[in-house]
Amino acid sequence: MTEDTRDSNGDGEHGMTRRQLMRHSAWFGGAVVLTVVAGEVISHIPGSASAAPASSADLRFVQVSDSHIGFQGPANMDVTGTFADAINQVNSLGFRPDFVMHSGDLTHLSTPDEFDQVKQMMSQLDTDRVFTVPGEHDSIGDNGPRAYRQAFGSNTVGDGWYSFDTHGVHFIALVNTLHLEQLGHLGNDQIDFVRRDIAGLSSDTPIVIFSHIPLFAMYPAWGWGTDDAVQLLSMFRRFSSVTCLNGHVHQLFSKTEGNITFHSARPTCYPFPKPGQGPAPLPQVLPAGRLKDALGIRTVNYWQGNHALAVKDTKLA
């Protein structure tokens, strides 16, 4: 991204201007399986004719999002059941993912019991490692962030961010759900962490960034964006491949800007309206038998040198 992060309206270097927000707007989505072949990030969905066979991948991982365990309402009377369905679907992919990432809003009210339930459920995933980032529903009040970190914050720094490397790919997990006003926010400490984290990386290292709230301005009026994302993403201009994966918006959406591709995931709980189609992003009640059409998992394949993502989303069975 080429815009300066300081604007004439006084938003400052850590803010995003209205012009930048509009220019970075677009559309995006559920549980996502990503693979890496010979050091290249790949997106693959089960049954996708255009995807490489899972057996050919060096690295295969899955993203699930927005389980909202603890929610009670007509939009989904059994969020535990639909999350269990998602877990079963991941376990039925036909291969064992190297890890699974939950991209936030694991819980609905940030209670210790809800976190314990999610942790127990995710222990049933057939994978060696499970990673998470918190959503705003995992960060309610003073006790929410503490309860989240007690359950999932081992080997993290600051408010729960971290990075790791595997199979030649560098992964960064960010927290943009604390200190919320209108939009998501990262803050100087986290941005400085990223700056130090990537300083020694070769520019041909594939990068995958996880966050809950989108790192682009999908729909700022509903808080679907991160106010200091431009400052963050400007540090990744030198990399040949950057993939950003988020939740929060409860629907599919994808967007590419230069070397950066954004994907937001379907939830496993309930959908939100499309941007602007309603007064606010509230849980949608769908006709009987249609809920699972809006929930699901998605696999995503990416090969270095081939910038097109092969993406196909799978509804919950």
130 membership: H or E segment, kind and range:
strand 129-132
Higher pLDDT, 307 or 196: 196
State yes or no: pLDDT of 94 exceeds 50.
yes
Between the ranges 4-13, 204-213, 290-299, where is the mean pLDDT highest?
204-213
List, for residues 173-186, the tens digit of each pLDDT value.
999 999 888 899 99
List, for residues 252-292, the tens digit of each pLDDT value.
998 889 999 899 899 999 999 999 999 999 999 999 999 99
Q: What is the DSSP annotation of 158-170?
A: TTTBEEEEETTEE
- At residue 239, the 3 state secondary structure works out as coil
Higher pLDDT, 190 or 302: 190
Nearest-10 crossing angle of helices 79-91, 112-122: 20
Q: Which residues pair with 62 in a beta bridge?
A: 33, 100
Q: How far apart are CA 155 and CA 251, in angstroms?
A: 30
**Nearest C-alpha neighbor of 21 from the set 202, 184, 192:** 184
pTM: 0.83
Return the pLDDT at 313.
Answer: 72
State yes or no: pLDDT of 246 exceeds 90.
yes
Higher pLDDT, 33 or 80: 80
Tally of helices (H runs) and strands (E runs) in the chain: 6, 14
List, for residues 54-79, the tens digit of each pLDDT value.
445 567 789 999 999 999 999 999 99
Lowest-confidence segment of 1-10, 93-102, 308-317 by average pLDDT: 1-10
- At residue 193, the 3 state secondary structure works out as helix
List, for residues 114-152, the tens digit of each pLDDT value.
999 999 999 999 999 999 999 999 999 889 999 999 999
Which ranges of 54-173 does DSSP label H, i.e. alpha helix? 79-91, 112-122, 143-152
Torsion of CA 78, 83, 85, 88, to 10 degrees: -150
Percent of the chain with pLDDT over 70: 77
CB contact at 8 A, 104 and 247: yes
Amino acid, single-letter form, for residue 204: D
195: Cβ contacts below 8 Å, ≥ 6 apart: 235
CB contact at 8 A, 246 and 210: yes
* All domains in the chain, ordered by first residue: 24-315 (3.60.21.10)
Return the pLDDT at 144.
Answer: 94
Q: How far apart are CA 16 and CA 172, in angstroms?
A: 22
